[in-house]
Amino acid sequence: SLANHGCLIVDMTDGDKTSADAIKMSNMWETTTNFFDKITNDETVANSILPPMQQAEGVGSSHAMVGYASFKDGDNQFMETRIRRSDGKLLPEETSSIVGEDGSQSMVDAFNVMSQIGKDIVRIVTAASSVEADAFVTVGSVVSQEEEGSPSIAGLSFEEATVSGIAEEEGDASEEDMVRAKILASEAAILLTEEIMDDGKPLAGGEIEHDEGPVSMSPHRMCRYSNNNKSSWKKASEIFGAHTDTSFVTIVPAAKVSGLEVFDEDSLQWYRPELNARKHAKTLDPKGNMDEQFPWHARYLIVMPGELLQLTSRNNVPAAVHRVVVATDAPRLSAPVLLRARPGTKMDVERYMGSLENADDLLLESNGMRMEAIHDALQPLSKQ
C-alpha cells in the first residue's frame, strides 16, 4: 500500500473493537476547531497572544519551526506545535491561553497516539526491506555442537549438512540462517525506531551518542485551508501544492472535509484517501450509531511515507507526493504529525540496517551523518 499507492489508512478502532484512541483524536479535533474559531473570529487573538513562526530553540535544525503563521491572505493558517521533552508539555506555551490546559493536553495525547502508530509502521517497513536485501544473512551463522563436541549446523555435521542441503558447499544460507537474519532485522528496526525516531520523549539509556535537545524535532501542526470563495466550489482548487515531506512518515488524521490528495504511483493519478475512509466507516456503522462517542473521521489516520523512510527502506517505499485541494466552500482543518529524526543521533547503517555490503549508494552516503544534517540536506534548494 505504501509503495504502490503512497499511503496507508489505519482504523484505530480495529473494526469497532476499541475506541480509546479514536476518542483521543476526537478531543484533538475539538481543540483544533476551537483554536481556529477563536483566531478567525478575532484576528487580534493570534497577533497578541501567539508567537510568530520562528526557529525552535534547541532542535538543531534551522528548518524546525514553532509558532503561528498565515499565508495567501489568510487562506492558509498554520500553528506549529512541538513537545518539550522534560515534562511532555505542548509548545508554544501560549497555545493553552487559547485552547486551555485540557485542549493542550488533548494535542499531546493525540501526538502520542500518532507517533506510536508511525513508529510501528516504520519498524515493519525497515525490517522487511532489510530482510529482502539479505542485509543480516551470514552463511553458517547457526552453529550447534553435537554430543561428541564436534561443530555442526542444525545438529548435523558439516558434511551431513552439505549432503542434506542445509548448508551448500558453495556457501548458500541455510533456512536457520535466514530465520536468524529475520530476527536480527526486526531487532535492528526496533533500535532504529526507539533511538533515532523522535517521539518527543527523552532517549532512554546511553548506548548511542546523542544530543537531542529540549524540544522534539517532530511537529504537530494545526492547519486551516480555505479559498475564501476565490474559485467555484464545484471545482477543486489546489491550495497547498504537490510536495514530499522530510519525515519518516507523515500521519494525517482523516478530516471531516476531505482535501488531501496523494499521487498513486500504481494508477498514475491523484487519490483521496479520506473518501475511502468515509466509505469504510459507512460499512462499519451505516446508521451512525458511534457518532455519540466520536465523529466517523476520528477513527482514521492516513499515513504517508516520507523521504527518511525512502532512505531506510532502500528505495522500496518512495516518499509520497501529496497536496491539499479545497472542493467546497467549507474550510478544511487538518492536524498532521511529521515524524522526524531525533537531533544529535547518527545514521549507523550496520546497527540499524545490517551489512554495508548490502547497502545502496544513498545509505552509504548517509552512514555516520547526524540526522539533522540529513534532514537539512533533503530540503529543497530554495530553503537551504
Largest CA distance in the chain: 85
Q: Angle at CA 152, nearest 5°, toward 148 and 155?
A: 85
- Say what the pTM is: 0.88
pLDDT tens digit sequence for 287-309: 887 788 899 999 999 999 999 99
The secondary structure of residue 215, as a DSSP letter, is B
Per-residue confidence band for 182, with pLDDT thresholds at 50, 70 and 90: very high
Whether the pLDDT of residue 116 is over 70: the answer is: yes
User: What is the mean pLDDT of the segment spanning 188-194?
Assistant: 97
pLDDT tens digit sequence for 48-77: 899 999 988 777 667 778 999 998 888 889
Whether the pLDDT of residue 153 is over 70: the answer is: no
pLDDT tens digit sequence for 12-26: 998 888 999 999 999
pLDDT > 70: what percent of the chain?
Answer: 88
Give the whole-angstrom CA distance, residue 321 versus residue 38.
Answer: 32
Give the whole-angstrom CA distance, residue 111 versus residue 262.
Answer: 22
Q: How far is CA 340 from CA 59, 249, 332, in A?
A: 11, 8, 24
Sign of the C-alpha dihedral computed for residues 34, 334, 121 and 206 taken in this order: negative
Helices (H), ranges, 240-327: 273-284, 307-312
Q: How far is CA 215 from CA 90, 197, 223, in A?
A: 10, 13, 21
User: What is the mean pLDDT of the segment spanning 230-249?
Assistant: 78
Sign of the C-alpha dihedral computed for residues 286, 290, 295 and 300 taken in this order: negative
